[in-house]
Amino acid sequence: MGLLVMMGDKTKIRKLERKDVDKMIEWGKHDEPIFYHYNFPYLSEKERDLWFKIKTKKFTKKCFAIENLNGELIGYISLRNIKFFKRESELGIVFNPDVINKGYGTDALNKFLDIYFTKEKMKTLFLKVGKFNKRAIRCYEKCGFEIINEVYEEFEEQGLSEEIKKEIVEKYKDFDLKDNKLMTTYYYMKITKEKYIIHKNNLELLITL
């Protein structure tokens, strides 16, 4: 995907560079244990080289940096399982926890969808999100994604202490413990090019009213 720099109202999307990974290890951290796996880990220089290679050097994976308008790296968008013949892939999007709830996610994703469907001529984009992640679900729905399936399965992060697992189950209604494994519900969502065009036209109509 030959992405050029694309500007939104609050964000800029560009090709991910190796030096971006050095900035990610300086990001803030999520305090809630259900979001620990979104915290960018501290990596050695060699580990950062490998992370960058995995994200950018495979034919079926692509990764893009998200900056705010001050030029600060605030997140990244990844595509995996890219199927060029079917013109589809799976989305991943991660932000520095310090900049969440500022509208960056919706702005960046809307702009990326414009690139994905209009310039790159893709047809479908899928994603997976935890039912517990209400903030992310609102963002995806604002951008036109629809829930297509609901699956009860193992939580993505099982490397938590027994104490933290029990704390999560007691605090969050969307979690259970089964054989000492955290279980939760995930939504599978998608947006098609046709759906995106309708959504975009509706947004433009609301702006002009």
Residue 85 has pLDDT above 80, yes or no: yes
- Nearest in space to 97 (alpha carbons), one of 63, 123, 74, 70: 74
Residue 65 lies in a domain: yes
- 140 domain-assigned: yes
CATH of the domain at 35: 3.40.630.30
195 falls within a domain: yes
Q: Cα(164)–Cα(51) distance, rounded to whole angstroms?
A: 28
pLDDT tens per residue, range 25-41: 999 999 999 999 999 99
Region 151-178: what's the mean pLDDT? 94
Q: Is residue 168 part of a domain?
A: yes
Q: Are 104 and 66 in contact (CB under 8 A)?
A: yes
In a domain, 1, yes or no: no
Kindly state whether residue 184 falls inside one of the protein's structural domains. Answer: yes
The count of structural domains within the chain is 1
Provide DSSP, 116-160: IIIIS---EEEEEEETT-HHHHHHHHHTT-EEEEEEEEE-S---S
What is the pLDDT confidence band of residue 3, given thresholds at 50, 70 and 90? low
Task: Give the pLDDT confidence score for residue 5 in this predicted structure.
Answer: 76
- Average pLDDT of span 10-15: 95
Rounded to an integer, the average pLDDT of 53-81 is 94
- State which residues form the domain around 36: 6-208
